Structure 1
């Protein structure tokens, strides 16, 4: 007996997160992509834009939705998802997974009466499984939260938390900008939005949901001279031993499909092209150093969105996203 496939639609399908969804979902055994919407590439074959998908799909981009889908992924960018829901008659039974920041902090869409759940599976899996609408976390937020949540839950930090996180150029999206121009970004590094990055609000809200104690977060984000990945270091003072802290993390992530604790130093090549988050813990004098690494386009976006879809449709987390890193 064949399993009924999930009928999927992708909006904003020719951007980085949308095209990653296409690549991953084409190889998901439980999925059938019904439409890939891209107004800028309407009627073009997907394989005309992406040579790597030749002989894998005959789909062409469209400029209107097909309402026969079970779930729609919204990948059109910030402030576009609200507009899209406002302007399209989406069936109440159709589930939505939004990859923008539109519903991460303000989780209710009044016109459609849709309430969104914050889609970080490592803390919200049960709620996600019962939800029809998911606000997929931001890439920086994912890397930072997965590194910090066990510490905050178990009251490990005893002072301010300092965070440095560097991202690849794909984090800025597919539309060319001065800060993504090769001749400027190559062999270069710069900070941006120090202490006021837009992901801080969802990070603070999520940490407060696991522990009401408020922590002062000092976040500096950087643009790196590479394409994919986020490398994050968080540090704070604590009297706990490294053995106690490691035990807390192992206990917290014991049943996690994708978050793993490494006793060795970690790097981006361990996780690029995967849905994994690797975490390394160290104590130096009274300072606790937490390193967390992810692929910004997969665990930080499209892969996590598929993980949420799997949970919503009662499919094993790993299906379709049990990927291996490139390493070299």
Structure 2
């Protein structure tokens, strides 16, 4: 059994980790660390766990667990690792953004691998430390990687993507308050979202000469979870050729499906799947990518990475059912 610790246990990503790990046949949850809820049952923060798991939050750490998931706020993982002893044998998966960019991947003796399995599977299998991708970044990269792999990104890419309210985290803010969010829609961080950096690095990994712009408009949706992303760019390839290239790129990737039909977010919510739809109009290709921001965009992908790091089949514990209605 893989013994597991979770740091920052009261947020949405930690809650999703706990829900999935409870039914993972190779996982044993050792502790869930939260200074604000220490001594209280997990169900205080994660109400749906009542009756399913008898465990309390703790403010002490077992530094010798097999794997440690960091579910801290962005920018807090480095500080945590600086101030707490963790065994050199413990694998670390950071769900924050501290180690995603090349300039941040080396932290003292810890060298982090960017944890997008569809891009870096072999490196993940051999890694000790993983930087889990961002949720928008996951949906957008999966939409574009086959083009980059074939050297077909030759123009600007226009991206419009909408995320649910859980993407803003569990702490209440003006724009995540029900009265503001309900029956409302808005964009934020237009052209400068923090995930653009990691997306750009992954595209350059496959197509070094890509110098055009990623023009990204992120939106806040009136729903709790999921990401619906649409992207378009110029392409002279036929739709049939593009579909063949996407299917070839993802043929060994169990969580990615390629289609030419219209897709919707409910097909992936509560699963670790990404569905990509391709359509062509003239010399423009429209790519639609849908994921669950908390599963494939965070906790599910983190568990997929854990499976790979420990030599398990990457789908173990992740056969999750979407909610179709």
1:180-219 equivalence runs, <5 A: 180-214=176-210, 215-219=212-216
CA distance in 2, matches of 1:293, 1:129: 26
- Does the CA contact (< 8 Å) of 2:115 and 2:305 recur in 1? yes
State the match for 2:53 in structure 1.
Answer: 57
State the match for 1:307 in structure 2.
Answer: 304
CA distance in 1, matches of 2:261, 2:218: 24
Q: State which of 117, 124, 128 in structure 2 corresponds to 1:128.
A: 124
**How far is the alpha carbon of 1:52 from its aligned partner?**
2.4
CA distance in 1, matches of 2:48, 2:217: 36
The answer to whether structure 1 residue 282 and structure 2 residue 303 are counterparts is no
Give ranges in structure 1 of 5+ residues lacking alignment.
none
1:14-163 equivalence runs, <5 A: 14-105=10-101, 106-110=104-108, 113-163=109-159
**How far is the alpha carbon of 1:203 from its aligned partner?**
0.4
**How far is the alpha carbon of 1:156 from its aligned partner?**
2.3
CA distance in 2, matches of 1:103, 1:68: 22
**How far is the alpha carbon of 1:164 from its aligned partner?**
0.7
**How far is the alpha carbon of 1:263 from its aligned partner?**
2.5
**SS of equivalent to 2:124:** helix
**How far is the alpha carbon of 1:159 from its aligned partner?**
1.6
Aligned length: 322
CA distance in 2, matches of 1:222, 1:133: 31
**How far is the alpha carbon of 1:65 from its aligned partner?**
0.8
State the match for 1:264 in structure 2.
Answer: 261
**SS of equivalent to 1:82:** helix
**How far is the alpha carbon of 1:216 from its aligned partner?**
1.5
- Mean alpha-carbon deviation: is it higher for 150-159 or for 298-307? 150-159
**How far is the alpha carbon of 1:264 from its aligned partner?**
1.4
Q: State which of 311, 314, 323 in structure 2 corresponds to 1:317.
A: 314
- Does the CA contact (< 8 Å) of 2:64 and 2:89 recur in 1? no
**SS of equivalent to 1:40:** coil
- Does the CA contact (< 8 Å) of 2:64 and 2:86 recur in 1? no
**How far is the alpha carbon of 1:67 from its aligned partner?**
1.8
The answer to whether structure 1 residue 12 and structure 2 residue 19 are counterparts is no
Superposition RMSD in Å: 0.9
Deviations for 1:238-272, whole angstroms, at most 9, x for unmatched residues? 11100000000000000111000122111110000
CA distance in 2, matches of 1:155, 1:169: 35
State the match for 1:297 in structure 2.
Answer: 294
**How far is the alpha carbon of 1:285 from its aligned partner?**
1.2
- Mean alpha-carbon deviation: is it higher for 135-144 or for 215-224? 215-224
Give ranges in structure 2 of 5+ residues lacking alignment.
none
CA distance in 2, matches of 1:157, 1:211: 8
**SS of equivalent to 2:159:** strand
- Does the CA contact (< 8 Å) of 2:136 and 2:195 recur in 1? yes
1:235-246 equivalence runs, <5 A: 235-246=232-243
**How far is the alpha carbon of 1:68 from its aligned partner?**
2.7
**How far is the alpha carbon of 1:305 from its aligned partner?**
0.1
